[in-house]
A and B are shown apart, each in its own frame.
Chain A
């Protein structure tokens, strides 16, 4: 129902700041150390040029003046050894930060994943009803992926470049102002080109991302309907339409990759040309014997070869850094967009719960209920009264009453109107009505997946808004039409209803619900692994396991929403005894379109467009000769 979300082309403002803040809070010590190592490694990386210059200078002088190796050996060796030490320091810091960066990246991803998952568990059902599941999923796949790229590569690379470049700028200025200016102009040109091409590239990458999403969506829809395509011989149309989206993706992909691919050679060669220009300017100054202007001191009053050559090396290093960082533009743009969306999920409003009435174990001592820690099998609602500070204990019975309840999912579209109903402990209440009449909605309100707009719902006489949601839901067992089993053994799945249930309890619940019969016939019995929502079981078998799962929880109130719809009537008849035993002593709400399932209910409510139009027992309703009667006889109309 939810429209698929378009990838956000641009990150929200402040995303980078927030990301950095999060990173620092994740690693208050490790991150500064890592940054320190990066800075150290980058700074040292820029310095060797200086040493080389000195070495070249010494050699140059030696050659010029015809000195022997022995005359300069000690100087050269000293410099080289110092250089070696610097290299070693740089190597150590580089090794350290490379290793630390891995830890930081992976733990950051883990923390974000955990945070997202934790937040997701706390979101109201409404969120899942209104968001496309594939989109929610992509937080964990696509967005986390772009974040990885951003944290592990782009940010360190960026930091590294900033440091290297600043050191280089200082060193260059200290060598020669004029040559430095030439380099700066060239780099400015490179940045301009990067901005032009890189900007275009990022734009196209986003467009490519959208095209990929579109293709994926189309492919998924068609693959899901592949059998229908075959039945209708619709293959040709399906191919034709696919070619359209596929060509569009191709077009966008070529654009995006083209920009990215071209950027490298262009920047590399601008770097080369810049190198030449620096060389020409340098040699022109050299030849003219112009005086050198430097910020480093006045000892190099004129240009020397020993100055020009290392300067050239630095130019190379400078442009190399700039072109490397320009490659990160796409990842930065996409990574920030991903981070921005992850924050969006983290900022979703969690399910609110102002309830304060809790469920506790009690012991009956001379007619008064006393709270106790151990399992007594007896439960009561612990209801503290704010006004006078007293606590009352109300035994858990399973009495549910709705009075004049109104509800709407969307403003202006009422789904339930003025619903009043009583379900006394042990009663079986059935809802009958067409799809969309509001049957499931009523149960959604009882367990507070949604909150009512108007009216009252009381559970054992307590307003359900006062009951803590978790406690309320614990007291309700729900079996839904759409069965969801989890990856794990059959036993694990049944135990989901009560985590500390023994194997015996689980098997007993399974026998009660009628699942035992087929489970024991599975190759590994209760240890059979279920995957892909129990893909290896039939729909009916899955429903039986879901019923067993609810049974093991042993709740006083059960809601069976089309719980047996996929069990054929004959099997249903066979498991009926178990179902009856399961329902015995509990308040049960049953929703079914199969009338045979609901016939023996104490009360049957016929719903139509959110209104209860008839209520009463099967016999009452047959007598009334209303909607239920016509539904019931509809089955025999042609007899």
Chain B
């Protein structure tokens, strides 16, 4: 896991290594400064012999040391910022690029929201942990060691008090940390649930209000929020013991050093130990104990970010299931399609096949309708054509060649799919249309929109083709969105065009017009139309009736009306002529 993550450090390797080195020097200086100061104060104490020059000399040394420490510290701060932010940038970059290379199968495995969290919150957590590691994880142990050494040099036997106190504090702090961690994990999960229930509530506000369930929701939320509060309080209280424990240890050290120290000073007549030493010793005590605290904090931080790190590596290690072969074909001859003994399931472990025993031959330029109830795998069938998924068994050929032998990009440029769950992106209509063809001229766009019946409403927008589309196409109606999506696909000038229930929100008249213009203007393109409405497919050359992942009938409208029960039922349900027959 760590190896995978560290690959993303790249150009920030130098600063990442530099930071701990700088911190190392900073720590050394920080430990030397009190040492020198103690010497100076000692000089001051021996009032008769001291001269201002000597004091200034010491002072000068300390100032130089302080300035050096400042420089080291500040530069380390800069490099740490650069290293951690850069690492985070690279991680986001790598994650995003990895997702771009995902196949549909990979995308299905991660939900959209979980991918977003991985790219944002999780990377943030890792960034913080990384900064902690390169700054604190070095700083604290070194500080700890140096301060102990300095304490022994200055205080001699007195420093043994630390040997007594450190294990006590260490034990308490780590006990608290290890006990708190699993509690934290649990409460964070609860907290997530609380927030997702708020989200659910916001989305379902119309339902809440129309059933007059405001008070019920308040009560429900109140309960969950109390629960979270109680749990958080419990674990935070545990952590809040840290401060007093630290204070207690520090106080013990203080009292000990003051009483025993004074005795030593007085009984040795100040020769082995003096007031200045005592003072320095106390400073070291503070340094030792706070570095221990810091260490426990780093420990907590790192453990908390491990989950994030794991989730990130999960994405980074995910291998795309669909990649182009070496020397793959880039030329698609024509729009003919052939399915031979195709079976498909979404995952290897799935017990049920989504499609089975599909045999199908479609000639270039034909219009094919696909009809079937919810869950009959209509979408699955067409997604195999542009290799959004790979078949489990059998083969799919486009232009006479197995789709797996094509370069994926070339194949998809020739097979345009208007997905059922389609989206527009924030940007102008033009920008959205150019997804189909990067350098499309205004004339081309106008033409495509005309074919998709989108021009009539675009022209009514005050800004026309420069109208800004909000995220997800929130400011256009469902039918308008669908027509824009069709226009976008038409601009690709594909050899095969697949419309997956793409006109469901378009009225029947416009729907018919779109089909008519397609027939007239792109006759050589093979068109596959998935629809709920029989009217959308009844003029097709061939209609496929799917049920439970199998083709149960195939033929033209009249043939199916005459021979297929399901087709006829569907037709009648939509035209309500049941009584007349």
Contact = CB atoms under 8 A, between A and B. Distances in A.
Interface stretch (B149-157, B208-216, B439-447): B208-216
Chain A, interface residues (CB within 8 Å), range: 35 or more
A14 interface: no
Contacts of B77: 258, 260-265
B104 A107 contact: no
Interface in B85-124: 85-86, 88-89, 92-93, 96-97, 99-104, 107, 112, 115-116, 119-120
Contact of B436 (A113, A232, A277): A232
B1 interface: no
B164 interface: no
Nearest to B250: A87
Contacts of A91: 244, 247-248, 251
A100 B474 CA distance: 47
Contacts of A140: 195, 198
Contact of B47 (A212, A230, A279, A305): A305
Interface stretch (A55-63, A168-176, A177-185, A384-392): A55-63
A516 B387 CA distance: 37
A409 interface: no
Contacts of B26: 265
A477 to B, nearest CB: 8
A235 B100 contact: yes
A425 interface: no
A250 B262 contact: no
A217 B427 CA distance: 13
Interface in A249-265: 249-250, 253-254, 257-258, 260-265
B569 A573 contact: yes
A480 B509 CA distance: 25
Given A216-B120, A217-B471, A231-B412, A226 B373 contact: no
A630 interface: yes
Which 10 A-B pairs rank lowest in CB-CB distance, beginning with the nearest? A265-B73, A261-B77, A484-B204, A257-B81, A269-B70, A435-B477, A634-B509, A110-B229, A250-B89, A573-B573
Contacts of B226: 110
B104 A227 contact: yes
B228 A110 contact: yes
B47 A287 contact: yes
Contacts of B356: none
Nearest to B131: A257
A19 to B, nearest CB: 19
A312 interface: yes
B263 A279 contact: no
Given A56-B275, A66-B269, A279-B37, 18 more contacts: A105-B236, A109-B229, A118-B218, A121-B218, A128-B205, A215-B120, A229-B100, A234-B435, A265-B73, A265-B77, A279-B41, A305-B47, A478-B210, A484-B200, A569-B532, A596-B574, A630-B509, A637-B508
B425 A225 contact: yes
A601 B456 CA distance: 32
Interface in B24-43: 26, 30, 33, 37, 40-41, 43
Interface in A483-524: 484-487, 496-497, 499
Contacts of B135: 261
Nearest to B239: A102
A102 B266 contact: no
B77 to A, nearest CB: 3
Contact of B62 (A99, A114, A276): A276
B92 A215 contact: yes
Interface in B200-257: 200-218, 221-222, 225-226, 228-229, 232-233, 236-237, 240-241, 243-244, 247-248, 251, 254-255
Given A73-B263, A98-B243, A279-B55, A634 B512 contact: yes
B73 A98 contact: no
B275 A239 contact: no
A277 B229 CA distance: 49
Interface string A80-98: 1001100100110011001
Contacts of B474: 1
11 contacts: A133-B203, A137-B202, A224-B112, A254-B85, A273-B66, A276-B37, A284-B55, A287-B47, A308-B44, A473-B209, A570-B569
B562 to A, nearest CB: 15
A273 B374 CA distance: 77
B350 interface: no
Contact of A55 (B200, B237, B258, B270): B258
Interface of B is mostly: helix
A254 B44 contact: no
B8 interface: no
Interface in B451-498: 470-472, 474-475, 477-480, 488, 492
A411 interface: no
B413 interface: yes
A576 B440 CA distance: 48
A48 interface: yes
Contacts of B81: 253-254, 257-258, 260-261
B131 A243 contact: no
B436 to A, nearest CB: 7
A242 B96 contact: yes
B243 A233 contact: no
A599 B572 CA distance: 13
Contact of A226 (B85, B112, B512): B112
A478 B475 CA distance: 24
A596 B575 contact: yes
Nearest to A304: B47
Contacts of B386: 231
A125 interface: yes
Given A83-B258, A217-B471, A98 B240 contact: yes
B92 A221 contact: no
B56 interface: yes
A598 B134 CA distance: 68
B259 interface: yes
B190 interface: no
A306 interface: yes
A378 B37 CA distance: 91
A376 interface: no
Contacts of B505: 435, 593
B342 interface: no
A188 interface: no
B275 A306 contact: yes
A84 to B, nearest CB: 5
Contacts of A399: none
B116 to A, nearest CB: 5
B535 interface: yes
B204 to A, nearest CB: 3
Given A265-B69, A470-B212, A473-B212, A114 B85 contact: no
B283 interface: yes
Given A94-B244, A231-B416, A219 B116 contact: yes
Interface string A453-482: 000000000000000001001101110100
B62 A272 contact: yes
A279 B416 contact: no
Interface string B355-375: 000000000000000000111
A515 to B, nearest CB: 14
- Residue among A128, A242, A249, A569 with max Cβ neighbours from chain B (10 Å): A569
A231 B489 CA distance: 9
Interface in A95-137: 95, 98-99, 101-103, 105-107, 109-110, 113-114, 117-118, 120-122, 125, 128, 133, 136-137
B450 interface: no
A309 interface: yes
B240 A141 contact: no
Contact of A221 (B45, B229, B425, B479): B425
Contact of B89 (A235, A249, A282, A484): A249
A287 B112 contact: no
A363 B519 CA distance: 66
- Residue among A91, A260, A277, A480 with max Cβ neighbours from chain B (10 Å): A91
B93 A243 contact: yes
